[in-house]
Structure 1
Amino acid sequence: MNSIDIDSPYALTPAQIAQFERDGFIKLKNVLSPATLKHYGDEITRLTIALNTQQVPLEERSTYDKAFLQVMNLWEQSAIVTEFVMGKRLGRIATELLQVKGVRLYHDQALYKEPGGGITPAHADQYYWPLSTDRTITAWVPLQAVPVDMGPLGFYARSQSVEFGRDLGISDESEEKISANMAKHGFEFCSGPFDLGELSFHLGWTFHKAGGNVSALPRAVMTVIYMDAEMKLAKALSPAQENDRAHWCPGAKPGEVIVTPRNPLIFSKQTP
C-alpha cells in the first residue's frame, strides 16, 4: 500500500471489533500508507504552524499548554485537509468499531507535541463533549512514526465504564487523581511506540495520557473525532461543554440529532 488512499476499506476482524468493545481502544497497523501520510501531513503541518496562536515560551506555559500545540477544524481551512477528514477509510473503521449505522464529524484537531513538550495528563475526552451517548470515537493519526521518546498515546484498558474522573479536565489534578485511581483498581496502562502508518482509535470515555517529547523532533499528530450519525445533543453540564456546543455544533438543539454544516456525515453503511 504505497499510493495515496483514504477511501478503500480496511479489513477489521470480528475479534478486533470485540477487542475494541472490551478495551475501549485499539491500535491498528498499516492503516495509511507513507505516501498518504506525506501528502496530507505536509498540508496539516503547514496549517498547524500558520494557524497556531501559542506565543508563550514553553517553560512558562501551563501543564495543558505544554502538552501540545492544538489547532482545530483544519478541514474548514483547506480542501486537502477536507479530503483527509472526510476519508471513508477511517470513517468506516469508526463506524464498525462503534457498531453504529454511520458516523458524523464532531471536529478535527492537530496535536503537535514540540521538542521538550510536556506530558499529556490522564483524562477522558468526553468530559468536554455535550453528547447524549458514549458512541464517540477518536482516530489518533501520527504523521510519522512515534517512538517512546516522542510521547506516544497510551490507554487504560477497559476504563471506559469508570465514572471516577469524568469531571476532571486535562490538568495536573487529572493526572494525579486519575492515574492513582487507575493504579488502585488495577487497570492496565497500555503504551508503546507507533510504527509509520499505525494509528489508534479510542472511545470518548476511555482514559488515556501521553509522555513528554524528549526527542529533537515535533510529534505531529492529526486527530478526527467521530460520533454516531444519530447522536443527539445533550444539555451542557459545564462551561467547557457549552463552549464545545457553540463551536462544534452551532445551531443544534438539546434532545435533537446533531445535523449542522459543521457535522457532515462521513460514512454510512447505506452509502458505502
Structure 2
Amino acid sequence: MRPRILSAVASQNQERRPLVERDTYGRAFLQTTNLWEFDDAVRLFTLGRRFAQVAADLMGVDSVRLYHDQALFKEPGGGPTPWHQDQYYWPLDTDRTITMWMPLVPAGQEMGTMRFASGSHQLGSIRPISISDESETFFEEFIAANGYEVSEPPILQAGDATFHSGWVLHAAGGNRSSITREAMTIIYFEDGARLLEPDHADRQRDLERWHPGQQPGELAASRLNPIVFARGAVP
C-alpha cells in the first residue's frame, strides 16, 4: 500500500516551496487530502471496513461515514505540529468523531510522532483557534495549568495506528531525523450527524470542500462522505 500512497501524494501535492519559506503550519507537514479519489488501491484502503469498524467501536456507534483521508508527511527538518483540536475545523453537530493516524514507516519520537493530552476531549471545544503558533502557546499553557497527562508512544511500526477523538488536544514534535515521517490518516464521524452553520472561516471552507452542494442543517452525507461501516451490513 505504501508505494500507491506515495504515488498518489506525488501526483497531488502542490507544495513546492522550501521549508524556510513556509509558515508554521506549512513547516509541520506536507498535507495531501482525499487520495482515495485518485487511486483505486488507496480507495480500498480508505473506504475499508476494518478500520471503520474500529472507529465505530471506539465511538460506540453503529454506523460511520468518511470525513476525509489525508497523508501527512513531515520532512527531515520539518517543524513541530502545534497543539490543536481537529474538530475546530469540522462543521458537524456531533462529538462522535475520530481520526486514525498510521505511520507508513517506523516512526520514533525523533521523527515527530503524535502526542495527546489524555482526557482533554471531555471538555469539547476549549478555544476556537486554528493550528498556529498561537494555538501552541495557549494549549501548552492550558495543558500544564490543568494537569493533563501527555501520552506519546515511544515508537510506532509501519502499519501501527493510533485513534484520537476530534476534540482531544494533540501535537507532534519536529522531525530531527534524516527520513520523512510518512503518515496516512482517515477521519470518521457518526452517521446521522448534521451540518452546522459555520461560525468561522475555517469551518466555512470545510463545509464547501468536504460537503459539496450541502447546506447547514442537512445530514452530512455528500458524495465525499460515504458510509464505510454499518453494523449488521453484509461486507
* TM-score, normalising length: structure 1: 0.83
User: Which position in structure 1 is the counterpart of 2:13?
Assistant: 52
- Cα distance in 2 for partners of 1:115, 1:217 equals 6
Contact 1:165 1:174 in 2 (8 A): no
Correspondence for 1:73: 34
Aligned position for 2:79? 118
Tell me the equivalent position of 1:92.
53
Question: Does the alignment pair 1:233 with 2:187?
Answer: no
* CA deviations over 1:154-201 (Å, ceiling 9, x no partner): 100000023564311110000011011111110011112212332100
Q: Deviations over 1:28-64 (max 9, x none)?
A: xxxxxxxxxxxx1111111112211112110121010
In structure 2, what is the Cα distance between the partners aligned to 1:187 and 1:101? Answer: 31
Structure-2 change in CA distance of 1:164 and 1:139 (3 Å): closer
Alignment of 1:152-191 (within 5 A): 152-162=113-123, 165-191=126-152
Partner Cα distance (2:197, 2:191) in 1: 18
Identify the residue that residue 251 of structure 1 maps to in structure 2: 213
Find the aligned partners of 2:125 and 2:72 in 1 and give their Cα distance. 26
Which residue does 1:17 correspond to in 2? none
SS in structure 1 at match of 2:27: helix
Contact 1:123 1:207 in 2 (8 A): yes
State the one-letter code of the partner of 1:62.
D
Aligned to 1:122, what secondary structure does the other structure show?
strand
1:175-233: CA deviation from partner (whole Å, max 9, x where unpaired): 01101111111001111221233210011000000000011110000100001011111
Q: 2: CA distance between counterparts of 1:55 and 1:271?
A: 44
Cα-Cα RMSD:
1.1
In structure 1, what is the Cα distance between the partners aligned to 2:224 and 2:158? 30
Q: Percent of counterpart pairs with the same letter?
A: 42
* Residue segments in structure 2 that go unaligned for 5+ positions in a row: none
Hey, what's the Cα distance between the residues in 1 that align with 2:233 and 2:214? Answer: 24
Find the aligned partners of 1:165 and 1:71 in 2 and give their Cα distance: 27
Distance across 1 between alignment mates of 2:216 and 2:106: 40
Q: Which residue of 1 aligns with 2:181?
A: 219
CA shift for structure 1 position 148: 1.3
- Over residues 92-132 of structure 1, what are the superposed CA-to-partner deviations in whole Å (9 max), with x where a residue is unaligned? 00000010111000111100000100000000000100000
Distance, in Å, in 1 between the alignment partners of 2:167 and 2:94 is 10
Residues 74 and 175 in structure 2, CA contact (< 8 A), matched pair in contact too:
yes
Aligned structure 1 segments of 4 or more residues deviating by more than 4 angstroms: none
Structure 1: stretches of 5+ with no match in the other structure: 1-39
Q: Are the counterparts in 1 of residues 102 and 158 from structure 2 also a CA contact under 8 Å?
A: no
